Structure 1
Amino acid sequence: MMAITTISSREFNQDTSAAKKATHQGPVIITDRGRPAHVLLSIEEYQKLTGCQTSIVELLAMPDALEIEFEPERAVITPRSVDLS
Protein backbone atom coordinates (compact mmCIF):
# COMPACT_ATOMS: atom_id res chain seq x y z
CA MET A 1 0.00 0.00 0.00
CA MET A 2 1.22 3.46 -0.88
CA ALA A 3 1.59 5.95 1.96
CA ILE A 4 1.01 9.64 1.34
CA THR A 5 3.17 11.98 3.39
CA THR A 6 2.23 15.63 3.95
CA ILE A 7 4.81 18.22 5.01
CA SER A 8 4.87 22.00 5.14
CA SER A 9 7.10 23.98 2.80
CA ARG A 10 9.12 25.02 5.87
CA GLU A 11 9.69 21.37 6.82
CA PHE A 12 10.65 20.63 3.22
CA ASN A 13 13.19 23.46 3.19
CA GLN A 14 14.67 22.35 6.51
CA ASP A 15 14.97 18.64 5.66
CA THR A 16 14.83 18.00 1.93
CA SER A 17 16.57 14.65 2.26
CA ALA A 18 13.80 13.34 4.57
CA ALA A 19 11.21 14.37 1.98
CA LYS A 20 13.15 12.57 -0.76
CA LYS A 21 13.38 9.44 1.41
CA ALA A 22 9.64 9.59 2.06
CA THR A 23 8.98 9.28 -1.71
CA HIS A 24 10.07 5.62 -1.43
CA GLN A 25 6.81 5.03 0.50
CA GLY A 26 4.63 7.14 -1.81
CA PRO A 27 3.97 10.73 -2.89
CA VAL A 28 4.92 13.64 -0.63
CA ILE A 29 2.48 16.55 -0.58
CA ILE A 30 4.13 19.87 0.25
CA THR A 31 1.79 22.47 1.68
CA ASP A 32 2.05 26.23 1.54
CA ARG A 33 0.08 28.02 4.26
CA GLY A 34 -1.77 24.79 4.98
CA ARG A 35 -2.87 24.16 1.40
CA PRO A 36 -1.42 21.50 -0.89
CA ALA A 37 0.94 23.25 -3.32
CA HIS A 38 3.35 20.64 -4.71
CA VAL A 39 3.78 16.89 -4.97
CA LEU A 40 7.17 15.20 -4.79
CA LEU A 41 7.42 11.78 -6.46
CA SER A 42 10.16 9.27 -7.09
CA ILE A 43 11.18 9.16 -10.74
CA GLU A 44 9.73 5.65 -11.00
CA GLU A 45 6.29 6.84 -9.85
CA TYR A 46 6.48 9.85 -12.17
CA GLN A 47 7.28 7.58 -15.12
CA LYS A 48 4.36 5.31 -14.23
CA LEU A 49 2.00 8.30 -14.21
CA THR A 50 3.26 9.80 -17.45
CA GLY A 51 3.86 6.54 -19.26
CA CYS A 52 7.32 7.83 -20.09
CA GLN A 53 9.90 5.07 -19.78
CA THR A 54 12.62 6.98 -21.64
CA SER A 55 15.09 8.85 -19.49
CA ILE A 56 15.95 12.48 -20.18
CA VAL A 57 19.50 11.38 -21.00
CA GLU A 58 18.20 9.05 -23.70
CA LEU A 59 16.01 11.81 -25.11
CA LEU A 60 18.88 14.30 -25.20
CA ALA A 61 21.19 11.81 -26.93
CA MET A 62 19.00 12.19 -30.04
CA PRO A 63 19.81 8.84 -31.68
CA ASP A 64 18.08 9.96 -34.89
CA ALA A 65 20.07 13.20 -35.11
CA LEU A 66 21.99 12.00 -38.18
CA GLU A 67 18.72 11.90 -40.12
CA ILE A 68 17.91 15.55 -39.37
CA GLU A 69 18.88 17.97 -42.10
CA PHE A 70 19.93 21.27 -40.63
CA GLU A 71 21.94 23.89 -42.48
CA PRO A 72 21.56 27.28 -40.80
CA GLU A 73 22.23 30.43 -42.79
CA ARG A 74 25.49 32.16 -42.04
CA ALA A 75 24.94 35.00 -39.59
CA VAL A 76 25.79 38.45 -40.88
CA ILE A 77 26.87 40.80 -38.13
CA THR A 78 27.39 44.37 -39.19
CA PRO A 79 29.13 46.74 -36.81
CA ARG A 80 27.48 50.03 -36.03
CA SER A 81 28.79 53.20 -34.51
CA VAL A 82 28.16 53.89 -30.85
CA ASP A 83 27.27 57.31 -29.46
CA LEU A 84 28.87 57.61 -26.02
CA SER A 85 28.00 61.28 -25.46
Structure 2
Amino acid sequence: MTITTLSSREFNQHSSDAKKAANNGPVFITDRGRPAHVLLSFEDYQRITGASQKIADLLAMPGIEDIELDIPQSRDLAQPADFS
Protein backbone atom coordinates (compact mmCIF):
# COMPACT_ATOMS: atom_id res chain seq x y z
CA MET A 1 0.00 0.00 0.00
CA THR A 2 1.41 3.33 -1.10
CA ILE A 3 0.51 6.57 0.67
CA THR A 4 0.48 9.67 -1.52
CA THR A 5 0.42 13.23 -0.21
CA LEU A 6 -0.78 16.15 -2.32
CA SER A 7 -1.35 19.79 -1.52
CA SER A 8 -4.84 21.16 -2.17
CA ARG A 9 -3.46 23.01 -5.17
CA GLU A 10 -1.85 19.86 -6.60
CA PHE A 11 -5.09 17.95 -6.03
CA ASN A 12 -7.11 20.62 -7.87
CA GLN A 13 -4.69 20.63 -10.79
CA HIS A 14 -4.19 16.84 -11.01
CA SER A 15 -7.38 15.22 -9.71
CA SER A 16 -7.20 12.36 -12.24
CA ASP A 17 -3.69 11.50 -10.99
CA ALA A 18 -5.01 11.55 -7.42
CA LYS A 19 -7.81 9.12 -8.35
CA LYS A 20 -5.28 6.77 -9.96
CA ALA A 21 -3.04 7.00 -6.87
CA ALA A 22 -6.01 6.15 -4.62
CA ASN A 23 -6.19 2.74 -6.30
CA ASN A 24 -2.79 1.96 -4.73
CA GLY A 25 -3.49 3.42 -1.27
CA PRO A 26 -4.79 6.50 0.52
CA VAL A 27 -4.12 9.98 -0.82
CA PHE A 28 -3.64 12.62 1.86
CA ILE A 29 -4.65 16.10 0.75
CA THR A 30 -3.06 18.87 2.74
CA ASP A 31 -4.22 22.41 3.38
CA ARG A 32 -1.40 24.77 4.35
CA GLY A 33 0.86 21.80 5.01
CA ARG A 34 -1.53 20.00 7.37
CA PRO A 35 -3.55 16.90 6.44
CA ALA A 36 -7.14 17.96 5.72
CA HIS A 37 -8.72 15.18 3.63
CA VAL A 38 -8.14 11.59 2.57
CA LEU A 39 -9.09 10.17 -0.81
CA LEU A 40 -9.74 6.41 -0.86
CA SER A 41 -10.90 3.92 -3.43
CA PHE A 42 -14.47 2.79 -2.80
CA GLU A 43 -13.24 -0.74 -2.03
CA ASP A 44 -10.86 0.58 0.65
CA TYR A 45 -13.64 2.71 2.12
CA GLN A 46 -15.97 -0.30 2.37
CA ARG A 47 -13.22 -2.41 3.93
CA ILE A 48 -12.40 0.24 6.54
CA THR A 49 -15.99 1.01 7.46
CA GLY A 50 -17.08 -2.61 7.41
CA ALA A 51 -19.95 -1.57 5.16
CA SER A 52 -22.26 -4.45 4.45
CA GLN A 53 -24.90 -4.73 1.82
CA LYS A 54 -28.14 -2.88 2.39
CA ILE A 55 -31.37 -4.85 2.60
CA ALA A 56 -32.67 -3.06 -0.52
CA ASP A 57 -29.63 -4.28 -2.47
CA LEU A 58 -30.16 -7.83 -1.24
CA LEU A 59 -33.86 -7.76 -2.15
CA ALA A 60 -33.00 -6.56 -5.66
CA MET A 61 -30.82 -9.60 -6.33
CA PRO A 62 -31.78 -11.59 -9.44
CA GLY A 63 -33.56 -14.84 -8.56
CA ILE A 64 -34.67 -13.59 -5.16
CA GLU A 65 -38.31 -14.06 -6.17
CA ASP A 66 -37.77 -17.86 -6.09
CA ILE A 67 -36.90 -17.87 -2.38
CA GLU A 68 -39.75 -18.68 -0.03
CA LEU A 69 -39.98 -16.71 3.20
CA ASP A 70 -42.16 -18.14 5.95
CA ILE A 71 -42.87 -15.59 8.65
CA PRO A 72 -44.73 -17.12 11.60
CA GLN A 73 -47.72 -15.17 12.81
CA SER A 74 -47.16 -13.62 16.21
CA ARG A 75 -49.52 -14.87 18.90
CA ASP A 76 -48.54 -12.17 21.40
CA LEU A 77 -51.14 -9.49 21.84
CA ALA A 78 -50.21 -5.94 22.72
CA GLN A 79 -50.50 -5.16 26.42
CA PRO A 80 -51.38 -1.74 27.85
CA ALA A 81 -48.44 0.18 29.30
CA ASP A 82 -48.21 0.44 33.12
CA PHE A 83 -47.33 4.07 34.00
CA SER A 84 -47.82 3.71 37.76
Whether TM-score is above 0.5 comes out as yes
Structure 1: gaps spanning 5 or more residues: 62-85
Q: What residue identity is the alignment partner of 1:10?
A: R
Q: How does 1:5-44 map to 2 (within 5 A)?
A: 5-44=4-43
Identity of aligned residues (%): 67
Separation in structure 2 between the aligned mates of residue 17 and residue 53 of structure 1, nearest angstrom: 28
Task: Kindly tell me the number of residue pairs found equivalent between the two proteins.
Answer: 58
TM-score, length of structure 2 as denominator length:
0.62
Q: What CA RMSD, in Å, does the superposition of the two structures yield over aligned residues?
A: 2.1
Structure 2: gaps spanning 5 or more residues: 61-84
2:52 corresponding residue in structure 1: 53
Structure 1 residue runs of 4 or more that deviate by more than 3 Å after TM superposition: none
Separation in structure 2 between the aligned mates of residue 53 and residue 34 of structure 1, nearest angstrom: 35
Q: After TM superposition, give the deviation of residue 21 of structure 1 in Å.
A: 0.3
Superposed CA deviations along residues 5-40 of structure 1, whole A, max 9, x for unmatched, are 000000000011000000111000000000000000
Superposed CA deviations along residues 21-74 of structure 1, whole A, max 9, x for unmatched, are 00111000000000000000000000000011337x839x7xxxxxxxxxxxxx
